[in-house]
Amino acid sequence: RRHRHLLRLLPSMEQSAKTRNASGIYAGIASSVVLLLILLSVFAFIRFKRKIKAAEDDNPFQKMARALIFDLTALQEATQNFSEANKLGEGGYGIVYKGILPDGQEIAVKKLLGATEHGLHQLRNEVLLLAELQHKNLVRLQGFCSHRGDTLLVYEYIKNGSLDNFLFDTSEVNTLNWEQQYNIILGIAKGILYLHEDSSPRIIHRDLKANNILLDEEMDPKIADFGLARLLQEGHTHTQTTRAAGTLGYMAPEYAIHGSVSPKIDIFSFGVLVFEIITRRRNCSSQIMGIP
């Protein structure tokens, strides 16, 4: 009788075992699917983070943020809220103020005119270029600030101001002797050579003029204002623009008329500068104005 009872139980036990096996298989498949989904999610997240990091590395502001960003409040305090007394000069794209940081360091703050798309482009252009340039005859960029329409660039402060003041300001008590003139010409030439041949990519300044040459305490020249600069790609000898921007009197004819941009246009401007330094006379009698 017990054997018959066991025989009756065997089919149900086998069915139960099959059910348990099937459940185990399903559970294993489900676990594998969940694990696979988790792995795929982790993989996708890692790829996403890498893409974000790559995008940040490509973004000039993100790339240099930690080292170059200045707080607007700090710059306002340094320049006494951009007071007229601290104004160093004014150009076509901005006004430059002298500032003093809490540690006593002197800086020059260029406040771009207008919160326009072009102004932001100018900011990005100068940050990208100057952050990578290291040469004794180029003004050193120390940082930037972009906040609610205010766009500013922070440079090292060059004590003696622009070459323009020494050449053409009749009230300027300091005059340049022949040795200083030679050293200034040589320094400008070295800075241009670095931009054209040694920087990567090569750079065409497009607005070399006496007002954009600053003189330090040793009367060594430093090329400033890279807002109009253009990059020259590897293997290219020139590029083209539909909008010639610069300063009349310093602009090469092929650039002013046809928009042809090459290192030669900086050489033309340099030649004009040499004549101005030697003769202490402007290249034209009328007021020099930028082409809009």
What's the pLDDT tens digit per position in 19-52?
A: 555 566 666 676 776 777 777 777 777 776 676 6
Are residues 92 and 198 located together in one domain of the fold?
no
Give the pLDDT band (50/70/90) at residue 214: very high
Are residues 178 and 257 located together in one domain of the fold?
yes
176, 221, 228: which is closest to 204 by C-alpha?
A: 228
CATH of the domain at 239: 1.10.510.10
Q: Where is the binding site for ATP, in residues?
A: 111
Q: Where is the binding site, in residues?
A: 111, 212, 225
Give the pLDDT band (50/70/90) at residue 290: very low
Catalytic residue ranges: 207
Handedness of CA 14, 16, 22, 25 (dihedral sign): negative
| Residue 259 structural domain | 163-279
What's the pLDDT tens digit per position in 243-268?
A: 777 788 898 888 888 878 888 999 99
Are residues 176 and 264 located together in one domain of the fold?
yes
CATH of the domain at 127: 3.30.200.20
Are residues 169 and 231 located together in one domain of the fold?
yes
Q: Where is the binding site for Mg(2+), in residues?
A: 212, 225
pTM, full prediction: 0.70
Angle, alpha carbons 205-254-199 (nearest 5°):
25
What's the pLDDT tens digit per position in 161-199?
A: 899 989 987 665 568 899 999 999 999 999 999 999 888
Q: Which residues contact 108 (CB under 8 A, 6 or more apart)?
A: 88, 96, 97, 98, 99, 154, 155, 156, 157, 158
In a domain, 292, yes or no: no
